[in-house]
Structure 1
Amino acid sequence: MDYSDSYRREVTAKVESGWKIEEETPDRVTLVRREFGSPGIHLVIAILTIWWAMGVPNLLYAGYRYVTGSQRTVVWKDRPDADADDPVARTE
């Protein structure tokens, strides 16, 4: 098996599980998963502020979580197949 086969499989598996490709270079792919916050927190914010702020705090919270709550991982092309399940993959 070639390194590129395991590389393509790993990238495909991550994309199918909800990751999006942020940057692709010849030797690596950077994947990102973003979120807008939990529905429970949005509900609490809505209940507490909808009357006075008309949903603006919910939008601010969603934007904050979209920027700060993102996860990134890098899949390297020349990584040996034995390390494919290694939990040391860079995730931020």
Structure 2
Amino acid sequence: MKEMENLIDDYVTQGYEILEQSERNAMVRKKTWGSGGGHVLWAVLTVWWTIGIGNVIYALIAHYGAEKVMLKVDAEE
């Protein structure tokens, strides 16, 4: 469906990635690995004890906990 393709293209342009896609539905997630300020904060607070593992954990939490959006298109009649 052209309408679904256009909707997905809009979200991909805004920085989302496609997780699942069918003819009338799609699940997209915001592409992020965390903010620069967040990484600096985590580095300052944890680098001495975790040798940077705190930053990796922060990036993974930011990526997998990012905003997800379910896109649906009504059936054409």
Q: TM-score, normalised by structure 1?
A: 0.66
Partner of 1:12: 9
Partner of 1:61: 58
> Which range moved further: 45-54 or 7-16?
45-54
Give structure 2 stretches of 5+ with no counterpart: none
Partner of 2:70: 74
Label 1:26 to 1:6 Cα distance change in 2 as closer, same or farther (>3 A): closer
Give the aligned length: 76
Amino acid at match of 2:39: H
Partner of 2:37: 40
Query: Identity over the aligned pairs, expressed in percent?
Result: 24
The answer to whether the Cα contact below 8 Å between 2:26 and 2:72 also exists between their aligned partners in 1 is yes
Q: SS at 1:20's partner residue?
A: strand
Partner of 1:87: none
RMSD over equivalenced CA pairs, Å? 2.0
Question: Residue 79 of structure 1: CA displacement?
Answer: 6.6
Give structure 1 stretches of 5+ with no counterpart: 81-92
Question: Residue 77 of structure 1: CA displacement?
Answer: 2.4
User: Which structure has the greater CA radius of gyration?
Assistant: 1
- How many angstroms apart in 2 are the aligned matches of 1:34 and 1:13? 14
Q: TM-score, normalised by structure 2?
A: 0.76
